[in-house]
Structures are given as C-alpha cells and as structure tokens.
C-alpha cells in the first residue's frame, strides 16, 4: 500500500494511523494516570505568568471596595517547552511494501504524549521538597516564612511490610491536616484530598485500605470501611523511588496542586530537512507545553522513615 505513494500521500497515511491510535492508548499506561492528577490549563503564548496563586477566591461580605487580592505580590512563570518524537522509515521498507512494520511503529508512537505528560508530573512530585512554588518556598514544606500550612508530613507506612492499618492511619492524618489548612486571611478552606499517588509495590495495600467495602485486613474486618463510597482515587506512579512515601492531592479545582500547561496539541509531520538522509524518511510528532506547581494547600507529601 505504501509503495509508490508520494510524500504528501505518505504523510496523510501516517497521520491517519497516528490519530486513530491516540484514543487507543489513553489510560492504558501508568504514566497516563499520573498525568491526569494535574489540572490542565491552556496557554496562548511562549509562557504564562501566574500572579494569582496565593489563595482560592472566597466570598466575603461586600463592604466598600471589592477585594480581589494582591496580584502583584507573587509571580510564577511557566515557560512552554517543545517536545517531539519520530519514527524512521527506511526506503527499503517502502519499496518492499512493509505496511505492517511501518504503521505498527507509528501506532506505538501515538501513546508517547500521554507518557511524557505523566513523567513531567512525576518529576514535580518527586522534586517537590526542593523545587520552589510561587512563594519562593519548596512546594512541599513545613511552615516557614509566609507558608503557614504544613504540607510535608511524617508517615507510619513500613517499606518492607506495609499494612492496611498503617495506610488508614496516614490517610486520616493527611485528611485531618489538609482539612484545617488556612488561606492568607487565616480562614479554614476545608480542603478534602481525593487522590493518592503511591508506589507500585504498595498499590494493592492501598486499594484494600480505601476501596474495600469493609475493613479488610483489620481485626474488625466485617465492619464498614470508613472510606467506602467516597470518591477517592489511587494513582500508581512508576517513577516513585521511596516505597512508603505518598502524595495526597485535591484535584477537583480548576487550578490544582499541579499544573499541566498545554500550548499546542500534537502536530504530525514528515521532516523535510532530512528527507531520505541515509535512506530514511522521518515521520515526527510534536507539541508544546510544560508542567509546574499550582497551589501548595491543595497537595501534601507524607514521608515515612519506617523500614
């Protein structure tokens, strides 16, 4: 089928294969789930400056001038970056009409965008105790300076023998902490974490702890699980290195703890600058965007030192 086609026709064929495969790969890889925990925000330029990340807007009695907060106090800029992938098609493959080999590689490339977003978000989580948020303080940090909420907590989960009881204890701890987080006016916001990002090796314990209708794994195994029926999600992050650390996120807000800033959707192309170099034709795909930090009070890291 590919033999004898013009460059334009090949590009149309390859693009069609890529686009048809995109939906096939959505949420089929662990990285895809990690990408979903970030709030997607469209971008219209080379970068976006977030000057309004201090608080969630709150209604107050309107007396005098309407207070929209001090937008000039902080500035957090997220620069869009280019990302690309390519599949090389050799001239001999086209001459020999190797459709299956060519289209299969293009099909596999279609899942790459979701994986890339997941890896960007994973890097934000793993480096959150050193990378800075909009206020110049590490995103996950104990109270310091202007940061009054403690979103870096100590946990009790064992790395070698994690238990349901330990998971439940830590979930109660982080829910209690985030539920009492306050804004810059000192008012309790009432944050409820709905998503827990965990290491693959403890995922089964987490599912038993939070998703079982009864307290499976506990002495009172037949009693109703206190979290049963709540819209809680467990996301497995294959990039995490500490088995017993986890992240609690409130993801129902338009701007969450993490931002997935998309400048442009994937565009596919045949690289005209290297056409038939070394007998190859490169079919590529590219997009622009970046990932960054949003509101620290919508996320929390729990670190356990238990062996």
**Selection from 77, 139, 127 nearest residue 299 by Cα:** 139
Q: Can you say whether residue 64 is alpha, beta or left, with left for phi > 0 and alpha for psi between -120 and 50 degrees?
A: left
pLDDT at 59: 65
Task: Give the strands of the sheet with 258-270, arranged side by side.
Answer: 39-42, 258-270, 280-293, 81-90
CATH fold for the domain made of 7-45+78-304: phage-related protein like fold (3.90.1690)
Tell the residue number behind the tokens 């080379």, with chain if given. Answer: 46
CA distances from 268 to 9, 10, 13, 265 (A): 13, 12, 11, 10
Crossing angle of helices 203-211 and 164-179, in 10° steps, is 70
Residues constituting the chain: 307
**Beta carbons within 10 angstroms of residue 224's beta carbon:** 12
**Selection from 197, 44, 47, 34 nearest residue 117 by Cα:** 34
Please give the Cα distance from 237 to 245 (Å, whole number).
11
**Is the Cα torsion angle 99, 104, 105, 109 positive or negative in sign?**
positive
pLDDT at 36: 95
- 275 neighbors 56 (Cβ within 8 angstroms): no
End-to-end CA distance of the chain: give it in Å, rounded: 59
- 272 neighbors 122 (Cβ within 8 angstroms): no
Residue 273: Cβ-neighbour burial (10 angstroms; 0-12, 13-18, 19+): exposed
Domain assignments of the chain as residue spans, ordered by start: 7-45+78-304
pLDDT at 300: 98
Task: Report the alpha-carbon angle 196-200-205, nearest 5.
Answer: 70
- 24 neighbors 110 (Cβ within 8 angstroms): yes
Mean pLDDT, each 10-residue run in order, the chain (307 residues)? 78 90 84 95 93 70 54 77 93 80 90 93 98 95 94 98 95 97 90 97 95 77 80 97 97 93 94 76 94 96 97
pLDDT at 250: 97
CA 165 to chain centroid, in Å, comes to 27
Please give the Cα distance from 15 to 300 (Å, whole number).
41
Token pair for 286: 């590219």
Please give the Cα distance from 34 to 12 (Å, whole number).
32
**Selection from 1, 4, 8, 306 nearest residue 157 by Cα:** 306
**Selection from 286, 274, 271, 282 nearest residue 94 by Cα:** 282
pLDDT in tens, 55-80: 676 666 665 554 555 444 677 899 99
């Amino acid at each position: 089928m590919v033999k004898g086609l013009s460059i334009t026709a090949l590009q149309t064929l390859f693009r069609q294969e890529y686009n048809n495969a995109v939906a096939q790969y959505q949420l089929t890889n662990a990285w895809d789930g990690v990408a979903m925990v970030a709030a997607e925000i469209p971008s219209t330029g080379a970068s976006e400056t977030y000057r309004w990340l201090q608080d969630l807007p709150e209604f107050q009695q309107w007396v005098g001038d309407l207070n929209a907060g001090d937008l000039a106090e902080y500035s957090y800029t997220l620069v869009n970056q280019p990302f690309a992938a390519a599949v090389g098609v050799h001239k001999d493959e086209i001459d020999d009409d190797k459709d299956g080999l060519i289209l299969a590689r293009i099909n596999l490339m279609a899942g790459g965008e979701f994986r890339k977003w997941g890896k960007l978000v994973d890097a934000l989580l793993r480096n959150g105790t050193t990378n800075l948020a909009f206020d110049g303080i590490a995103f996950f940090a104990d109270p310091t300076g202007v940061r009054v909420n403690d979103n870096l907590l100590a946990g009790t989960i064992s790395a070698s023998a994690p238990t349901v009881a330990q998971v439940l204890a830590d979930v109660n701890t982080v829910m209690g902490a985030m539920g009492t987080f306050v804004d810059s006016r000192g008012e309790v916001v009432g944050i409820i974490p709905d998503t827990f990002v965990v290491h693959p090796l403890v995922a089964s314990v987490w599912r038993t702890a939070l998703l079982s209708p009864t307290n499976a794994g506990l002495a009172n195994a037949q009693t109703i699980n206190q979290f049963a029926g709540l819209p809680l999600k467990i996301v497995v992050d294959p990039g995490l290195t500490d088995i017993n650390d986890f992240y609690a996120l409130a993801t129902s807000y338009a701007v969450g703890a993490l931002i997935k800033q998309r400048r442009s959707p994937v565009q596919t192309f045949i690289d005209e600058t290297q056409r038939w170099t070394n007998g190859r034709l490169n079919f590529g795909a590219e997009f622009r965007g970046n990932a960054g930090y949003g509101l620290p009070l919508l996320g929390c890291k729990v670190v356990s030192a238990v062996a």
